[in-house]
Chains A and B, each alone.
Chain A
Amino acid sequence: MENVWLITALWVGLALAAALLSVRFAVSVALTEIVVGAIAGNLIHLQISEWVNWLAGFGAILLTFLAGVEIDIGIVKRNFWSTMSVGLMGFFAPYLGILLFARFVYGWPWDQAQIAGIALSTTSVAVVYAVMVETGFNRTEIGKIILAACFINDLGTVMALGLVFANYNLWLLFFAVLTIIVLFLLPRLVPWFFETIGTRVSEPEIKLIFLVLLGVGGLASVAKSEAVLPAYLIGMVLAPTFARYQVIAHRMRAIAFATMTPFYFLKAGSLVQARTIITAAGLIGVYFGLKMLTKFGGILPLTKAFRFDAREGMYTTLLMCTGLTFGTISALFGLTNHIIDETQYTVLVTAVILSAVIPTLIAERWFQPDYRPLDSEQQQQQPAN
């Protein structure tokens, strides 16, 4: 019989080790948790019980919700054509390119090829945002357009994940109608609720958000859709509200990062097979290369059409080649629903991790535009006197 406390202690110990390593080496805690999970999974065969699956699943929902909350709809509206075209091309070019390659060159069945296309279609908004903050480009118009395009790219990914594998029946119709009603009501209901109830130790604001995410996410599952789809959309419509109530977003992050997302990233890593990384290194390289190639084919010409200069165009395209969280969410969705096997999962997740690191290094090393906005950034960062 399993000793739930000892097993929990092992998972939490791994999460703590990953957190300490990430602090020591100033590397993403998400990436560190995946690597620690992969090492533990291969060395000690981590036990993945139902409650680990539940925590990991809720962690993925919260990650997606919190990602949606950060979108700035105003930027998308102000730069509609450039944002939408770069964002949609950033999704469709790799999605279709890799889908067709996996199906017709490697002979993967359609569903498995779909997972490959979706997992490698993503852009890491987080990597792009961190690079922007460090260089100060997040305060420039081009930086804002790139960031907004990344959100649109990821919206394409979660839409595909939520719709490609859904059962097109009455449940899906019910889920779609209910989601539309919820998306319409929430921007009115939530600010009123936050204002009326105030800040309490029992955190009713957070419970309300959890209730909505779990309720609509549950309906998505019944319709064989994916709970991260409504979570991202709900995050997007609540973005203006959370911009006003940042302390609630901070508390939600604390809950998510302390208790749920470590289980998600550790689990995602633990399912990676070390042996497959070696035996399928060629295929991993091909998928990673294809992601880069298709992103370049789709986005670089658009940057020219929208009159980015050559260096800015390369920089934008390279940053949009990145990906991590939504890539692993998509691959894990495929594995959990028995669409892909562990070998395919390992191939896709490793290609996703490569895409988080290599394009960023190339962009920062060789293609960072000349503009150095340190002065403006400094004003933003400088503590109040």
Chain B
Amino acid sequence: MYQKILVAHDGSPGAFAALTAALDLAARLEAEIHMVSVTQLPAFPGTMDEVIEEQDEGRRHFQPVVDRAKKLAALKGLTLEAHVLPGHPVKVIADFVRDRAFDLLVVGFMGHSAVYNSLIGSTTDRLVNHAPSAVLVVK
């Protein structure tokens, strides 16, 4: 059924729940499993320093997330390939799914406040709309 699974991970507990579900699915289907995390850079930066520091912060933030995810995958006998990319999360993840021809995207319920969700919409909502593959939302 699904041969290439991608799980989007922002480091939140919801994303770890999605990772666990994705690993179970990958083990059962003997599918390839990847994880993508996105470092969001500031729009219209005034200085290069802002961009450089955000990139560094992203690496620092996601390093333990990647380490923990790989350990969880190893416990299930899987090899997890992790990718940390810069940019806008929805666009980067949707493009990555398209470019690498993943057939399933697994995302956690990435909770913002109710106000934020109603005004701007959640990352999960927008991934469901824009990802060019099947999407599994784990809550």
Contact = CB atoms under 8 A, between A and B. Distances in A.
Interface of A: 22, 26-31, 34, 63, 66-67, 70, 124-127, 129-130, 133-135, 250, 253, 256-257, 261, 265, 324-325, 356-357, 360, 372, 374, 377-378, 381-385
B4 interface: no
The 10 residue pairs across chains A and B that have the minimum distance between CB atoms: A30-B46, A134-B87, A126-B45, A383-B63, A28-B45, A28-B42, A253-B49, A130-B51, A381-B84, A324-B46
Interface in B22-51: 39-51
Contact of A133 (B47, B51, B67, B96): B51
- What does DSSP make chain B's interface, helix, strand, loop or mixed? helix
Interface in B44-79: 44-53, 55-56, 58-59, 62-63, 66-67, 70
A254 to B, nearest CB: 9
A383 B66 contact: yes
Contacts of B51: 126, 129-130, 133
Contacts of B85: 374, 377-378, 381
Contacts of A34: 46
A331 to B, nearest CB: 14
A381 B59 contact: yes
Contacts of A256: 49
B83 interface: yes
Which of A130, A256, A378, A385 gathers most chain B CB within 10 Å?
A130
Given A26-B42, A133-B41, A374-B96, 14 more contacts: A27-B42, A30-B47, A66-B49, A124-B46, A125-B48, A126-B47, A126-B50, A129-B51, A135-B87, A372-B99, A374-B85, A378-B83, A378-B85, A381-B85
B86 A134 contact: yes
Contacts of A130: 41-45, 51
Contacts of B19: none
A232 to B, nearest CB: 13
Contacts of B130: none
Interface in B79-126: 82-88, 92, 95-96, 99
A160 B50 CA distance: 26
Most central of A29, A63, A134, A256 by chain B CB within 10 Å:
A134
B40 A26 contact: yes
A381 B44 contact: no
A29 B82 contact: no
A383 B42 contact: no
B123 to A, nearest CB: 11
Contacts of A325: 46-47
Contacts of A265: 46
B88 A134 contact: yes
Interface of B: 39-53, 55-56, 58-59, 62-63, 66-67, 70, 82-88, 92, 95-96, 99
A324 B49 CA distance: 14
A381 B99 contact: no
A317 B85 CA distance: 26
A147 to B, nearest CB: 9
A365 to B, nearest CB: 11
Contacts of B50: 28-30, 126
A256 B41 CA distance: 19
Given A372-B95, A385-B70, A133 B86 contact: yes
B49 to A, nearest CB: 5
A58 B95 CA distance: 42
Nearest to B42: A28
Contacts of B63: 383-384
15 contacts: A28-B44, A30-B50, A126-B46, A129-B48, A356-B44, A372-B95, A374-B96, A381-B39, A381-B55, A381-B58, A381-B59, A381-B86, A382-B82, A382-B83, A383-B63
Give the residue among A67, A261, A381 with the most B Cβ atoms within 10 A: A381
A357 B50 CA distance: 16
